[in-house]
Amino acid sequence: MYWIALKMLVGDRAKFLGIVTGLTFAALLIIQQGSIFCGLMLRTAAQITDITGADLWVMDPNVAFIDDVKPMLESNLYRVRGVEGVEWAVPLYKGMARAKLTTYRFRSGPRSNVFTSVLDWFSGQAEPARPPAGSTPSVERVDIIEQVILLGLDDSSMVGAPPPARILVGSLADLRKPDSIIVDRVGLRKLYPGQGWESASIEKLKAEFFRETRELEMNDRRAIIVGICEATRTFQSNPVVYTTYSRAKQYVPRERKILSFVLAKAEADQSAIEVAERIQGATGLGAKTSEQFMWMTIKYFLLYTGIPINFLTTVLLGFIVGTAIAGQTFYNFTIENIKQFGALKAMGATNLSIISMVLLQAAVVGVLGYGIGTGLGALFGWSSRNGELAFFTPWLLPVTGVAIILICVLASLISIQRVVRLEPAIVFRG
Amino acid sequence: MPEIPEAPPRHSAFAPRSDGSKVAVRIRGLCKYFGVGDQRVVALKEVDLDIFTAEMTLIVGPSGCGKTTLLSVVAGILNPDAGVVEIFGSEVSSMRDRQKTRFRARNIGFVFQQYNLLPALTAAENAAIPLVIAGWRKNPAVGRAKEILASLGMGKKVDSLPSQLSGGQQQRVAIARALSHDPKLLVCDEPTAALDHETGLTVMELLRDVAVKPDRAVAVVTHDNRVFHFGDRIAHMDDGKVIEIEDKQHDSGQDEYGAR
């Protein structure tokens, strides 16, 4: 009977494609929006997950998330070091600094994409005419002032630095040179706009980017870029600048309290959670394991921003629209074949075999919709891997699968109850 | 006083007649109602009828007289409200739904007015459906269906879709489908209603030549009086009752149910 079910399904190509399209749309919307949501949420905690080596974060007890820096007195570092079970503890500066630099770029129109072009069109602002092909482009001087995320690492241990594999050009040791900083590759897009360094190959960066001394100015002090690293993008997408703790203090206005976090490591035989509780008890500071702090940060964004509601709404819409399209088309498909199902029942096909046929049909369109939808979603993620978009998929695959199964079950249930209730005598009605 | 001869024994159900034909379907006191209360419609009133093997029995009458309802009850796809239907000794009217479904799959072939062919399946695949329901695998079932289609003059159309066939050809496929699993009872509901006169006659000839067999009964519901001459027995219905039975071959000595 199963081959009959499959032939019935694909026999009406328009309906078959309609059902598959509905499910594909639902799967794509769920996986695409879900992946962007997860990607964004992970970005909020990127600076926690990027820091390896330390397993404890100590902070002001009122800190709610990673960017909610409430500076502490530096003496707290020594208090943490004095807690039993702490193997070592180092300072970490984290804050926003204002970077200034002068650069040159070929004169061209402002960067645009499809959304800004539409906006320009509505606002009546046409994009400036580009220089005609073949003409020598003129060079313009550009003064950049950009907010950067400044990370000051412990001067001696450099705990909190990106691992060597993620330092693309230069090395961590270069941070010991005077005024040195390491910048994340994506941040070059904002510091050197329109020059394409963020997507340049490592060889090109080594050969051409460092052909000249790359200087920034922060808090009226000189900073020299000595390396480029890969950092997970942050939620705000500001450039990330690594330097030493002592130098970081010079790149921001002087304050009495300047210590952002203390990074600590629990002794080998100690549980990080227990040591964190001990630090809290002994110092009155907030202490979290890296994982606790990551979830605390994500939870903050989930609770205090409208992001989850927006994404959840879109995902729900995808689910509802997908269910409606697939359910309606599938039901129509069943209704149009109701006489055929009636004939099969009259000829002796049992309800069980008819239900199996409907379920097989639902399963086939479900698998196809899921496969094409997730495939398109993955393609979308892959094509935007070097772009602005945050995209994290893995556990959304089973979630989308469950959603599609749910849609198919809902769609087929309506059809099944119609077919089961069907009186085979219908076939004798002309 | 001369002895009064003993009355000849009445017909024993399923005993063969003189020509070897047997009662295939025995209907007694069959009633069927639709709706309840004031809305109740009596579709069948105390219907008694026998349908014999090796014959084509026509059930005829005006629209709404209950002939299709009778056929549905006989075929076991409608439950009667009263009365008994026995097919080859099995009391179908008292069977549970699952038993009826199995019984239909094994013993009954259907020819519908609107053919009810699956549009996505070829002629051979459509004709193979009863075999597939009976548990045959696809290839042998389709192979067998092709043989039957060839015997009905449809050998060149076995791979055609229903949409590529004329009405007469589609009805031939429907007949092949009804016969593919060699049923004991063939029920046909207005098989010529959707066909022109000539094609209708051809289809009836085909039914008479191919379907009627010594061990098979054929019941045809029709209101097309141009095909009445194909019937070996004709049960006239009106207002939910069988009002007259014409038996062309056994028109003497029959009892009130048409049995001899």
pLDDT in tens, B188-199: 888 888 778 888
Query: What pLDDT is recorded for position A100?
Result: 92
CA of B96, closest CA in chain A: separation in Å?
Answer: 13
Partner A contacted by B68 (CB < 8 A): yes
Question: pLDDT tens-digit profile of B207-252?
Answer: 887 778 888 888 998 888 888 888 888 999 988 888 888 877 665 4
Stated length of chain A: 430
The pTM is what? 0.68
Query: What pLDDT is recorded for position A223?
Result: 93
**What is the distance between the alpha carbons of residues A290 and A66, in angstroms, rounded to a whole number?**
11
Q: Please list every residue in chain B whose beta carbon sits closer than 8 Å to the beta carbon of residue A343.
A: 110, 112, 116, 118
Identify the residue among B74, B129, B160 best suited for mutation to test binding to A, counting A beta carbons within 10 A and taking the highest.
B129
**What is the distance between the alpha carbons of residues A106 and A141, in angstroms, rounded to a whole number?**
9
Q: What residues contact residue A299 under an 8 Å CB cut-off, 6+ apart?
A: none
Query: What pLDDT is recorded for position B18?
Result: 60
Below-70 pLDDT ranges, chain A: 106-112, 125-138, 235-236, 386-390, 393-394, 429-430
Inter-chain CB proximity A3 and B138 less than 8 Å: yes
- Looking at every residue in chain B, the average pLDDT score rounds to 81
**What is the distance between the alpha carbons of residues B35 and A99, in angstroms, rounded to a whole number?**
86
Among A4, A348, A429, select the one facing B118 at the smallest CB separation: A4
Query: What pLDDT is recorded for position A281?
Result: 93
Query: What pLDDT is recorded for position A134?
Result: 60
Partner A contacted by B113 (CB < 8 A): yes
Q: Please list every residue in chain B whose beta carbon sits closer than 8 Å to the beta carbon of residue A422.
A: none
Cβ-based neighbour number of residue A328 at 10 Å: 15
What does each C-alpha distance from A104 to A191, A430, B52 come to in angstroms? 11, 82, 103
CA of B178, closest CA in chain A: separation in Å?
Answer: 9
Inter-chain CB proximity B104 and A350 less than 8 Å: no
**What is the distance between the alpha carbons of residues A213 and A153, in angstroms, rounded to a whole number?**
23
Query: What pLDDT is recorded for position A429?
Result: 64
**What is the distance between the alpha carbons of residues A218 and A99, in angstroms, rounded to a whole number?**
5
**What is the distance between the alpha carbons of residues B103 and A270, in angstroms, rounded to a whole number?**
74
Query: What pLDDT is recorded for position A24?
Result: 87
- As for the ipTM of the complex, it is 0.79
- Read off the pLDDT of each residue in B62-84 and give the average, rounded to a whole number: 87
pLDDT of residue B260 exceeding 50: no
pLDDT of residue B73 exceeding 70: yes
Among B106, B121, B133, select the one facing A349 at the smallest CB separation: B133
Tokens of B54: 């090796």
Query: What pLDDT is recorded for position B5?
Result: 42
**What is the distance between the alpha carbons of residues A265 and A286, in angstroms, rounded to a whole number?**
15
Q: Please list every residue in chain B whose beta carbon sits closer than 8 Å to the beta carbon of residue A13.
A: none
Residue by residue, DSSP assigns B181-210 as T--SEEEEESTTTTS-HHHHHHHHHHIIII
Identify the residue among B71, B99, B101, B106 best suited for mutation to test binding to A, counting A beta carbons within 10 A and taking the highest.
B101
Nearest CA in chain A to B75: A346
Which stretch of DSSP H or E encloses residue B152?
Answer: none
Inter-chain CB proximity A347 and B189 less than 8 Å: no
Closest CA to B217 of B227, B207, B206, B225: B207
CA of B14, closest CA in chain A: separation in Å?
Answer: 25
Query: What pLDDT is recorded for position B14?
Result: 47
- Looking at every residue in chain A, the average pLDDT score rounds to 84
CA of A363, closest CA in chain B: separation in Å?
Answer: 19
Query: What pLDDT is recorded for position A76?
Result: 93
First to last CA, chain A: 26
- Read off the pLDDT of each residue in B63-71 and give the average, rounded to a whole number: 87
Question: pLDDT tens-digit profile of B91-149?
Answer: 887 888 888 888 888 888 888 887 888 888 999 999 999 999 888 898 999 998 898 88
Query: What pLDDT is recorded for position B152?
Result: 80
pLDDT of residue B253 exceeding 50: no
Strands B217-222, B233-238: pairing kind = unpaired
Nearest CA in chain A to B177: A347
Amino acid at A256: R
Radius of gyration of chain B (CA): 19
Tokens of A405: 């199964």
Task: Give the rounded percent of residues in chain A with a pLDDT score beyond 70.
Answer: 90
Tokens of A10: 């694909």
Query: What pLDDT is recorded for position B8?
Result: 39
The owner of tokens 């594909």 is A24
Query: What pLDDT is recorded for position A109?
Result: 55
Tokens of B117: 């062919």
CA of A366, closest CA in chain B: separation in Å?
Answer: 21
The vertex-A278 CA angle with A276 and A279, nearest 5°, equals 65
Amino acid at A254: R
Partner A contacted by B112 (CB < 8 A): yes
Question: pLDDT tens-digit profile of B151-162?
Answer: 888 888 888 898
Tell me which residues of chain A have a C-beta less than 8 Å from any C-beta of chain B.
1, 3-4, 7-8, 10-12, 337, 339-340, 342-350, 353, 423-425, 427-430
* Interface A-B: count of C-beta contacts within 8 A: 88
Q: Please list every residue in chain A whose beta carbon sits closer than 8 Å to the beta carbon of residue B177.
A: 347
Question: pLDDT tens-digit profile of A175-212?
Answer: 999 999 999 988 888 888 878 888 888 888 888 888 88
Strands B90-91, B82-87: pairing kind = antiparallel
